[in-house]
Amino acid sequence: MAKTVKARAAKRVKKKAVAATRAKATPPARPPRRAAKPAAKRARGPKKAVARERGLVATGARATRATAKAERKATKRAARGAGTPTAKTRAAARTAARVAPRMSRKPFGAAGKALDGVRILDFTHVQSGPTCTQLLAWFGADVIKVERPGGGDITRGQLADVKGADSLYFTMLNHNKRSITIDSKHAQGKRVLEELIKRCDVLVENFAPGALDRMGLTWEHIHALNPRMIVASIKGFGPGPYEDCKVYENVAQCTGGAASTTGFRDGPPLVTGAQIGDSGTGLHLALGIVTALYQRNRTGRGQKVSVAMQDGVLNLCRVKLRDQQRLKAGPLTEYSQYGRGIPFGEATPRAGNDSGGGQPGWILKCKDWESDPNAYIYFITQAPVWGAICDVIGEPGWKTDPDYATPAARLPKLQQIFDRIEQWTIGKTKFEAMEILNRYDIPCGPILSMKELAEDSSLRRTGTVVEVDHPTRGKYLSVGNPIKLSDSISEVKRSPLLGEHTDEILKKVLGFKAREIKEIKDSGALSAPQRKPAA
């Protein structure tokens, strides 16, 4: 009996000690030198939202008090001979320790945004970088876009459709951001930039290789100014023979494996309309940034995040590298080339509209295909619904015919099978065909034009397609945030005019006095050089 009491007491002490160690294991987030200390004060958003991102500060303070109390109790119990927490139990508790913030009682969607309190120094331009920072802005980050005085991001004036207004190219990639103009090569401009670095959590850039270093903003310098800063970069290539090259979308598609595997076997390589090099790499970088922010909660320090566009594209072409290796084992039987008896070469071939997986698919004509370039449907002959396919197209005999009944038997006849299915689809509009096929769970999809997508009411309802009002160009359509979080609802706000928030940022973010602002402005660091009037 006495032994049981003693054992229970020892267990209680051990539990307390573990709790104490756990509380201790999440230290208060160490304020990074002078720079990040006023984080809670400086945020524009509600204070609670800031506290949430800096959640560990509050939790850490609570944890420290809890630790002290629990340790005092544990020491008293230990003194009574009930046992002492060992280094092992402390270590185990440290590993398992996670101090969760208190659960919000607010309704979903009303508890701020996922990245509230995170401030991004957005040094991006053109498409790849801006898509990344736009996503972060949609999730609530305060994104400050630094632009060259005069013209700003080159896309503001590219592919212009409304005279004197920012182009759709720019507006559709820079929603929810603030804009400040800074000449980063001017001494006073550098001063402003360095102050921004001290007050931001992440710097994102996609300059040509070496450009950031040439501005004097090396990783070492940035890290010394703000050790908590995450420095995220997009380049065309990673280290290797092409690392110094400038890269645009289609170069990345060509060097990342997309072009060699897109198009028809007997035609040239093709680039795809999906911006997998730019927007795809922006997505990769955004994930890298939030992951680094998450790790910073534990380590307290920033790190470099880099994504090469070639790598991003190759990642999206993963299945084609899979096929490259499968070639060693024989022909790729799901490629229609196999059914046509055309031999395979050494590299993954272009597969036209073959489906990438093990369920053969093709694009088939629908009613009015002669006049409508998008009157087509993608049709997948998924094995589990083969019987239904046969019934729908009027070939019930194929269900049991050994030449058609199994996926293996069908592979060499895919062309003939799709020709027969097309005889059925060609009599229906793509929407009628979709409606009928869906009744039988047959996977298919109409080829939707951009016009149809722009007018799609369900995409409008979900906010995937949004109408935005802009002061100089009026209303336009954009793609909203395709990633839906139930507790962090995205609103799409118009892109900033060039330098629209320069004063606001100097004053409210950087805390410059009116005298200092005048001094910086007078130096010419924030404005385009004045052109000399012609003599």
**Which amino acid is it at 233?**
S
For residue 6 the two structure tokens come to 């003693």
236/496 with CB nearer ligand CAO: 236
How many other CB atoms are found less than 10 A from the CB of residue 331? 14
Q: Which is nearer to ligand CAO, 232 or 234 (CB)?
A: 234
Q: Is 153 in the site for ligand CAO (CB under 6 A)?
A: no
Tell me which of 183, 201, 278, 323 is the catalytic residue.
278
Say if residue 204 is exposed, middle or buried (CB neighbours under 10 Å; 0-12, 13-18, 19+): buried
148 binds ligand CAO (CB under 6 A): yes
Residue 242 binds to ligand CAO (criterion: CB under 6 A): no
Closest among 55, 60, 23, 59 to 39, alpha carbons compared:
55
Give the H/E segment covering residue 94: helix 87-96
Cβ proximity to ligand CAO, 215 vs 436, nearer residue: 215
Of the residues 185, 298, 318, 493, which one makes contact with ligand CAO according to CB under 6 A: 185
Compare residues 325 and 530 and give the one whose CB is closer to ligand CAO: 530
Asked if 246 interacts with ligand CAO (CB under 6 A), we say: yes
Overall residue count recorded for the chain in this entry: 535
Q: Which stretch binds ligand CAO (CB under 6 A): 33-41, 159-167, 246-254, 369-377?
A: 246-254
- Per CB under 6 A, the list member of 248, 344, 431, 476 interacting with ligand CAO is 248
Residues contacting residue 211 through CB under 8 Å, at least 6 positions apart: none
133, 174, 184, 481: which one binds ligand CAO (CB under 6 A): 184
Q: Looking only at residues 90 through 129 of this chain, which bind ligand CAO when binding is defined by CB under 6 A?
A: 126-129
Q: Which of 206, 261, 310, 490 is the binder for ligand CAO (CB under 6 A)?
A: 206
Q: Which is nearer to ligand CAO, 182 or 459 (CB)?
A: 182
528 binds ligand CAO (CB under 6 A): no
CA distances to 201, 290, 334, 511 from 228, in Å: 7, 14, 50, 20
What are the distances in angstroms from CA 205 to CA 188, 502, 505? 21, 19, 19
Nearest residue (CB) to ligand CAO, 235 versus 501: 235
Sheet holding 202-205, edge to edge: 177-181, 142-147, 119-123, 202-205, 230-235, 304-308
DSSP 395: -
Q: Is 193 in the site for ligand CAO (CB under 6 A)?
A: no
Contact between 30 and 127 under an 8 Å Cβ cutoff? The reply is: no
| Coil, helix or strand at residue 276 | coil
For the CB of residue 147, give the shortest distance to ligand CAO in the complex, in Å. 6
Size of the site for ligand CAO (CB under 6 A): 24
CB atoms < 10 A from the CB of 385, how many? 18
278 is catalytic: yes
CA 243, 246, 249, 255 dihedral sign is negative
* Residue 221 touches ligand CAO, criterion: CB under 6 A: no
Q: Catalytic site residues? A: 278
By CB under 6 A, name the binding residues for ligand CAO: 126-129, 146, 148, 182-185, 206-208, 211, 214-215, 234-236, 246-249, 278
